[in-house]
Amino acid sequence: GGGGGGGGGGAFIAAMVTATSSSFTAGDEEIELNVSWKPEGLEVGLWNHFVQFRAERFRLAAEGRALSHQLAILKRELPRLEEKAATLASTSEGLSQSIVKLRNDRRMALYDGQVVLRLLAGQVEAQPPTPVSGDLSHAILVSRTAVEGLNNEVLSHGGQKLSILNAIKNFKKVIYQQLWEQQRCDMQIQDLRDKIKTLQLIHVTRDMAATFKTGSLSPEEERQQQQAEIAALEALMKQKQKLHQKAVGERRKKLEQLKGIVRGKAGQNQQVAVHLVALGRVLEEQQRLQSSVQSAGDQARKKMRSLVTHKKLKEIATAQQTELSALMSQLDQLRSRTFPAFEAHPTSAEAVGVPRPLLPPDFVTPGGGGGVGGEG
């Protein structure tokens, strides 16, 4: 029974821990359990054990939250710290290199001793600096054997390069000579081809054919052949002279015909010129008549326009006079109706202050008076 009660009490404590964790741990602060909250039938020892277990769990949870917060802070700070560490490492490396360089410079400075030498004029190979004539601080004391060894090495390298250049020059010379020989042979071949073509295209005469067949002639045969050629040439010359004279006569006849044609064309040109002069005069006369007819038509149109305008002005003046007479009659009627009546009343438009209408100078009033501006 005791073992069963112990097992049941452990299960009950686990259930209570879960329940209280879900109900009393909503916030970050721990809620203190009151004894009055102990379930009925639960032993006091178990209750106290549960309370201690719950307090320990709260403590561990708070430590875990603090550690997680610190871990987040460290994660945020880690890149900056790494960058700072890299910067410090590069700085320290540069400082260490500077220290090593300084040590080497100090060691070389210890070995660099100054030696004062008195040299005669003409033995100084290097000119002193221009700003300070006697400043040779940059000069270095070198052994004569080292300088001679370097000079010998330079001379050996220079001799090797000169020998190589001479070999290259001789090789190129041979190549250029071969190329020139080849071009000379090509030119000779081309000359021979041109000569062969000339021989193939040459015109072979009978004399040449006879010479080829019989060989060279004797002096008598050559003289006879020359005489025959001269006779043939003289006959050909006479024939050419006759043909030339005939052609000259024909050309002269044709020239005379052309001269006659030119004279005829010159006469025709003179007739055409006279005809053109007559046509020019006729054209001028027609232009003058046309201009006069056009000017007469313009004058007639202007006169017609002035007459129409004058007629319209007369009609307007007549209408105005009629309207004025009607207005005067109405004015007389109105005055006759007034009381007391006036003994005399004006009968003209000037007496009542009505301005006289503007009429054309040649307008005649119905009463026989003159126009505007006239005395009637």
For residues 186 and 113, give the distance between their C-alpha atoms in angstroms, rounded to a whole number: 75
pLDDT reported for residue 170? 94
pLDDT in single tens digits along all 376 residues of the chain: 334 444 444 444 444 444 444 444 444 556 677 677 777 777 778 888 888 888 888 889 999 999 999 898 888 888 888 999 999 999 999 999 999 999 988 888 777 666 666 665 554 555 555 555 555 667 777 788 888 889 999 999 999 999 999 999 999 999 999 999 999 999 999 999 999 998 888 887 877 777 777 766 677 877 888 888 899 999 999 999 999 999 999 999 999 999 999 998 998 999 999 989 988 888 888 888 888 888 877 888 888 888 888 889 999 999 999 998 889 888 888 887 775 555 545 554 444 454 555 555 555 555 444 444 443 3
Sequence length of the chain is: 376
pLDDT reported for residue 130? 58
- 23 to 133, 142, 306: CA distances (angstroms): 100, 96, 124
Task: Supply 121's token pair.
Answer: 């004029």
Where helices occur in the chain by DSSP H, the ranges are: 2-24, 44-111, 144-201, 206-214, 219-336
Contact 369, 357 (CB under 8 A): no
DSSP state of 130: S
Q: Count Cα neighbours of 13 within 13 Å in the Cβ-side half-sphere.
A: 18
Contact 343, 335 (CB under 8 A): no
Radius of gyration of the chain (CA): 75
Neighbours of 188 (CB within 10 A): 10
pLDDT reported for residue 291? 83
pLDDT reported for residue 293? 80
Contact 49, 9 (CB under 8 A): no
Domain ranges of the chain: 7-110, 212-329
